[in-house]
A and B are shown apart, each in its own frame.
Chain A
Amino acid sequence: MTKYLLKRIVLGLLSVVVVVAIVMILIFTFTDREKIFNGDGIYTKMSNNDREMYKYSQWEKYGYLDYVQYTDYLMALAKSGEITEETRADAAKIARKVDGNSGVVAEYVAKFKEHYEAQGYKVLYLDAKMLTPTKLALGGKQQYFAYKDTPIINRMFSFFGRLVNIDNIHYVEDDIEDRGLTFTLYDPVYNTEDGTGEVVEKKFSPAIMGNGTRHKYLLYFDSRFPYIHQNLVTIRLGTSYSVNRNVDVFDTMVQTQGAYVQSTMTYPTGLTESSADDLHTATYSSAGTHLSTPILSDRFTDDYTNVSPYRQNKSRLGYSFVIGVIASILAYCVGLPIGILMARKKDKLLDKIGTFYIIFIIACPSLAYIFMVQALGRAAGLPHYFDLMKETPLMYILPIVSLAMPSIANLMKWLRRYMIDQMNSDYVKFARSGGLTEGEIFRKHIFKNAAIPIIHGIPGSILSSLVGAIITEKIYYVPGVGNMLTNAIALYDNAVIVGLTLFYALISITAIILGDILMSIVDPRISFSSKAR
């Protein structure tokens, strides 16, 4: 069993890698890379050569290519001591046109070209864009640089290499003292004395803190679900370009949303005020920031000053998961009993009504019946869209019902089919001849056998709620994960697309493997070991 499972997991992971490769090839080679700038305000404001340079710098940032500026090359030469600082300064003064260079400049321009072309780079010299023969156009300064497209295989390696980050005490590159981890039983966030900033033993709350790490708090407790939190391991699925600029896809999914929640709190310096800052999220900014900025030096005693605020609403993943899980539970609670009843009362009225419902749901576009549910719910006085400012449990009803409807139809259809198939088997006839009542036969014999294929789908239906529901979330304005992929596609946010694909593929593979395990637990006849019984 273990060996079989290991094989399944390895094969599954392999196919995830292939899927990511396919998607990367699709979006990085087949789509126009200029399109990522469609919604970029900075790009639109720039002009001429500056815009070109911005494009290359962004492409480098998002992994399209490797790009070296001439000035950086000279800087590196000067640093290694190959040329003097004066030569560097002289050589950096490139002329407005490529053939206008002379002397030391021409020599290094040629060297740069030779050096990078030998490595397979393309070297580009952008001539100055002039407004008048003597005046430069806006952003028209001459530029000289080399670039090389990153092959897909390298992108894959860097993507999977960055996937899981473990915070360590060597993260901070600046020169700081006392690198290391400390364990405290009294979390300073709760135990800082007002006014003095001293940590006193007021409230018991263990925490692991780091210095030299990216996050200040690596493990801590707070009053929010799931009460224990960690920052030690972070998952990086790729930095967003346009959907949620400069924020990682995974963070976009798990960050809380909505308005700030303020509470009275004491900063490490002892300043007490009403604020929404969550001190547990503090990350390192850069050496000396807290001293140079008065607003930070009033509050913080070290350079861990980047904090995110508390917000009142759930994260995207939170909304999708809550709605999806409740809808799955509802589907099983409603679909299974009706499916059983339909099989028992085959060809009676209930069976016919049920069949009509199944046909309607299968054939009808999902858009149509979700709109119908929305219209009916609105007529019944239920809130028919999500309002983050005034969140009430009633808002969840319509999305949950809309999401449960197709699952109910599916469960009814298959359970009825499986039960009717089982009804004619020999063991049922035997049980009946043994004198069992019909109820007992259905409950103890038929249902147990018919439910096995149904059980296989349970992990899938729960895990798929992490993927979100595109249409339901769009119609009810649910701020969930369902529309992230479509948004990313619409805005050409390629990093987000790749990250989400990996996330979806992992979920679907986990769901299938878990389903198989669950089925083999429930049904002892199913065995995955290679040995025949």
Chain B
Amino acid sequence: MNENLIDLTDLGLSEEELFTHVENSAADAEKITAPRYSYWRSVLRVFFRKKINTVILLILAFLVVFSFVYPIFSGYDATANVIVEGGKNLNPSDAMDKYGHNIHWILGSGPAGESVFDKLWSGSRISLALAFVCAIINMTIGVVIGAVWGFSKKFDIIMTEVYNIVGNVPYILLISVIVMILTASFWSMVFALTLTGWLGIAYFIRTQVIIIRDREYNLASRCLGTSTMRIAIKNILPFMVSVIVTLAATEIPSYISYEAFLSYIGLQMSDMSLGKIIERASASMFTPGRELQFWAPVAVASVITVVLYVVGQNLGDASDPRTHM
């Protein structure tokens, strides 16, 4: 008798515990034993693996808080004109001497005697809000239509022609006609930017869907009788998440840039956005003592767009399941 074998009677277990007949379960046989995998948890894990991302996210949080929370308390009024003798267009040190040493005056005062710092954050709030609203609308419409565009061959023929034609209508023209018809308010700007803005996104998504649609594993899945809806949701959507996030990363900053561009050529909203501040202050670009009025909004616009872009790109990388290993 082999000494390594255990005598079952020593374990002191009942007959039922030792030997039980296990039924053949079809459901259990299908289960795959693997470590627990949560997609979004893995995305976060990969995202924070890079130390730089934490830093950039902190900068972004700082910018968002300043843009959305600070204006509530700053009491900045875009239409106000401060009547204090010699209180306009001051450089930071003069402004602080004049109005007191607090955070409002660290960038000096503007042409209406207002605080440049307060104006700056109120402007970036409007610009950011515009960018987020436009991005949400355009991305939603663009992704849905792009997915259908990629799947349906009939729709493809029509939409490609529409894309070719609308692509040739000058964008500035479309926006200015809308601004002309409606008033130049925040929401008419949103309408102008989203009227055809989704088309480019839809075209991009369509190309991606076509690439993934005809991959071998989808052909195999179709051969096995999977419905189109299930293929779309289970097989294609996970691949698209990283594409969509990466696209959003370029879209959001691009609206801020585009709004600045439109403001500079004269198609402004009635609200004081970053672009409008830059345009209004462009004369003081090289004026001694007033440079900050111009360069501060330019710098904030650049930092906001670059940070948003980098966060989005890295989040896009992290949301690609192939990086989760």
Contacts and interface: CB of A to CB of B under 8 A. Distances in A.
B256 interface: yes
Given A31-B180, A362-B250, A365-B257, A489 B173 contact: yes
Contacts of A474: 264-265
Interface stretch (B20-28, B223-231, B298-306): B298-306
B253 interface: yes
B172 A485 contact: yes
A365 B165 contact: no
Contacts of B164: 15
Interface in B124-176: 161, 164-170, 172-174, 176
A19 interface: yes
Contact of A501 (B170, B260, B310): B170
Interface in B215-267: 250, 253, 256-257, 260-261, 264-267
A359 B309 contact: yes
B253 A363 contact: yes
Interface in B259-292: 260-261, 264-267, 275, 278, 282, 285-286
A163 interface: no
Contacts of A367: 257, 260-261, 264, 275, 278, 298, 301
Interface in A455-506: 470-471, 474, 483, 485-486, 489-490, 497, 500-501, 504-505
Given A364-B302, A366-B257, A505-B168, A375 B310 contact: no
A533 to B, nearest CB: 22
Interface in B167-202: 167-170, 172-174, 176-177, 180-181
B306 A485 contact: no
Interface string B60-103: 00000000000000000000000000000000000000000000
Nearest to B300: A368
Contacts of A441: none
A53 B282 CA distance: 43
Main secondary structure of the interface of B (DSSP, over half): helix
B46 interface: no
B308 interface: yes
Interface residues of A, number: 42
Nearest to A497: B173
Contacts of A378: 286
B161 A363 contact: no
A507 B15 CA distance: 88
Interface string A357-380: 001101111111101101100100
B257 A471 contact: no
Nearest to B305: A363
B136 to A, nearest CB: 19
Nearest to B259: A365
Given A485-B170, A489-B172, A371 B285 contact: yes
Contact of B165 (A19, A26, A30): A19
Residue of B170, B172, B301 with highest tally of chain A CB at under 10 A: B170
A527 interface: no
A18 B167 CA distance: 12
A243 to B, nearest CB: 14
A27 interface: yes
Contacts of A368: 260, 298-299, 301-302
Contact of A15 (B168, B170, B294): B168
A366 B257 CA distance: 7
A31 B173 CA distance: 12
Contacts of A362: 250, 309
B265 A26 contact: no
A15 B169 CA distance: 10
A23 B265 contact: no
Contacts of A483: 265
Q: Which of A19, A32, A470, A471 has the most CB of B within 10 A?
A: A19
A365 B260 contact: yes
Name, among B166, B168, B256, the residue most crowded by chain A CB atoms within 10 Å (CB to CB).
B168
Nearest to B253: A363
A104 interface: no
A471 B250 contact: no
Contacts of A372: 298
A518 interface: no
A504 B170 contact: yes
A371 B298 contact: yes
Interface of A: 15-16, 18-19, 22-23, 26-27, 30-32, 35, 359-360, 362-369, 371-372, 374-375, 378, 470-471, 474, 483, 485-486, 489-490, 497, 500-501, 504-505, 508-509
12 contacts: A19-B168, A23-B170, A35-B180, A359-B306, A360-B306, A363-B302, A365-B275, A367-B264, A367-B278, A371-B282, A378-B286, A470-B172
